[in-house]
Structure 1
């Protein structure tokens, strides 16, 4: 999730765990800072953009390593707060702030390597967009009230914000499961052979969902809102560039994207450059993670050091479409 959501989650945890043992502002600040520590790995350069992408949310987001690091961070927190007598409570607050960071990231589609060093599998539920105001606002409201009313009432508001935001996560999983059922039924009715199916929310909400279905000859993209009046879905077909993938198979960068995306990727060619694209984040034809990985050298393709580029549609047009489509209006996606 975004940094604000992570900071808010850590702040709320700090306030709730520390309660009257320290000033609410200290608990909120230290909890929020602790919760943002795992994302500092984004500043480390692994040498190429594909490694940077696939090693973000790796060791820094591993539950085991965060648990090991938590007493050190708690010691620093207790010392900074001048409350060494509360070390054990600070340890609990810091551990929860660190531990819940990757758990929250788990709900996004990106891929979080929670169980390192035992496995590097990138876990992803995919039921939350990276930024969702309906998740973050309850936390922020609870924190603000707790900072203003520095008593049990404020504490209850902070705790309530945690409860509401957690319930929202539960709602996202339920909505995702519902839309997946609708999509599977629609694909069966169309006689489609599907190898993999991905259901993720569109930007900033959990009302409108994007469905990607990998098929033997490409992939399909469709959308369904929880406010749609029927369960029919329209899917648009797109090529995956299978021939390019076969030509580039064995390339370490392409293979890593294929692994990290669980097969939800496509290959393309532009001006003689071969591009691999993560299909999970974005929608046709605009994707966040595109990498140039090869150069056409007729009749062969030569590998090159990867470079990253993102493609984004007009923000106002895109958000307008999301809002209208989320409310159940039948409008085609911007292409």
Structure 2
């Protein structure tokens, strides 16, 4: 989920923590728990700083080790130990337990996005991505804001947030039901599909759709059970070429391939350089495919520049690559 949603989730847990008599009866413990809940709701996303290095490192590692089983155990302990120095009289176990809940909930809700997490590490590096909730879901965010507002205006926080979680449970079940209906509709639209990717959007009934059969890739949108295919691309194996082999060894290209399950490729020759481009088909936006990986290879089979990430115009991509073709 996005940072704002994780913050309101942590705030909701603050209200729920008042069900713990140790928390509600001791102001020091309450303060420490509240800080632990908010910080625990955010700490797994500390790997966002990897963006400062480069997109390849960020894409390969975001929601990786920081969302793993060891991290779920270590983040609460680290936060609780730090808070014990600031609030020595706070009940350590209660601070740790509530912080653990916040960290666990952060990782748990992230698996419902299409990006997912490596929550099963170290037992498996598989990305767990259920793809039923958008990274920012306005309904989930708004429900939290409403519940927090009720708390601020005097409503019982325990009852308020228990009702909130009950409503959210039903909402998640509805999302699974809608996705199953969309997937069934895609199977009817692309009857021989070998793979189907369905991604949520901020709109309840609208979903991104990408599917592949033996000969083509299909890209479209679904509104409820109505599926519209916008683009179809021939599915061809990448040709054998030392230039392509060199490109596939580039960290940006490798990061893209590790992240994208469905993409198409293109190879072109520009100003004595071979350009290998991979285009993710899952995120079509206004007739454009913004998530790409590009590598330029010279005659000596050296990658002279490369890039992977989100880009919304060819001019901006060229600027990122620091490459201006000769006119």
TM-score range, shorter chain: 0.7 to 0.9
Equivalent residue, structure 1, for 2:197: 198
- Using a 3 Å threshold, how does the CA distance of structure 1 residues 62 and 171 change in structure 2: closer, same or farther? same
For the pair 1:295 / 2:294, whether they are aligned, the reply is: no
What are the superposed Cα offsets for residues 182-216 of structure 1, whole Å, 9 maximum, x if unpaired?
Answer: 1112222xxxx3221101123x1231112101233
Give me the whole-angstrom Cα distance separating, in 2, the residues matched to 1:213 and 1:237: 10
| Higher radius of gyration, 1 or 2 | 2
Give me the whole-angstrom Cα distance separating, in 2, the residues matched to 1:225 and 1:120: 33
Give me the whole-angstrom Cα distance separating, in 2, the residues matched to 1:147 and 1:118: 43
How far off its partner does 1:279 sit? 2.8
- Using a 3 Å threshold, how does the CA distance of structure 1 residues 46 and 218 change in structure 2: closer, same or farther? farther
For the pair 1:251 / 2:257, whether they are aligned, the reply is: no
- Using a 3 Å threshold, how does the CA distance of structure 1 residues 238 and 282 change in structure 2: closer, same or farther? same
How far off its partner does 1:239 sit? 4.6
Alignment of 1:1-335 (within 5 A): 1-19=1-19, 21-22=23-24, 28-44=34-50, 48-77=54-83, 79-80=85-86, 83-85=89-91, 87-149=92-154, 153-188=156-191, 193-202=192-201, 204-226=202-224, 231=226, 233-234=228-229, 236-239=231-234, 242-243=237-238, 248-249=244-245, 250-251=248-249, 253=251, 254-261=253-260, 263-269=261-267, 271=270, 273-283=275-285, 285-295=287-297, 297=299, 302-312=302-312
What are the superposed Cα offsets for residues 125-152 of structure 1, whole Å, 9 maximum, x if unpaired?
Answer: 1111111110111122222322342x6x
What are the superposed Cα offsets for residues 44-96 of structure 1, whole Å, 9 maximum, x if unpaired?
Answer: 359542222121111111133221332221233455456522x2222121101
What are the ranges of 5 or more consecutive residues in structure 1 without an aligned counterpart?
Answer: 314-335
Contact 2:119-2:127 at 8 Å conserved across structures: yes
Give me the whole-angstrom Cα distance separating, in 1, the residues matched to 2:160 and 2:116: 32
What are the superposed Cα offsets for residues 247-268 of structure 1, whole Å, 9 maximum, x if unpaired?
Answer: 635525434433332x312223
Give me the whole-angstrom Cα distance separating, in 2, the residues matched to 1:241 and 1:304: 26
**Does 94-103 or 111-120 show the bigger shift?**
111-120
How far off its partner does 1:169 sit? 2.3
Give me the whole-angstrom Cα distance separating, in 2, the residues matched to 1:92 and 1:180: 39
Give the match's secondary structure for 2:193. Answer: coil
Give me the whole-angstrom Cα distance separating, in 2, the residues matched to 1:168 and 1:5: 16
Contact 1:223-1:233 at 8 Å conserved across structures: yes
Structure 1 length-normalised TM: 0.77
- Using a 3 Å threshold, how does the CA distance of structure 1 residues 277 and 233 change in structure 2: closer, same or farther? closer
What are the ranges of 5 or more consecutive residues in structure 2 without an aligned counterpart?
Answer: 314-327
**Does 71-80 or 178-187 show the bigger shift?**
71-80
Give the match's secondary structure for 2:219. Answer: strand
How far off its partner does 1:245 sit? 8.4
The total of aligned residue pairs comes to 299
- Using a 3 Å threshold, how does the CA distance of structure 1 residues 64 and 302 change in structure 2: closer, same or farther? same
What are the superposed Cα offsets for residues 206-227 of structure 1, whole Å, 9 maximum, x if unpaired?
Answer: 311121012334410122212x
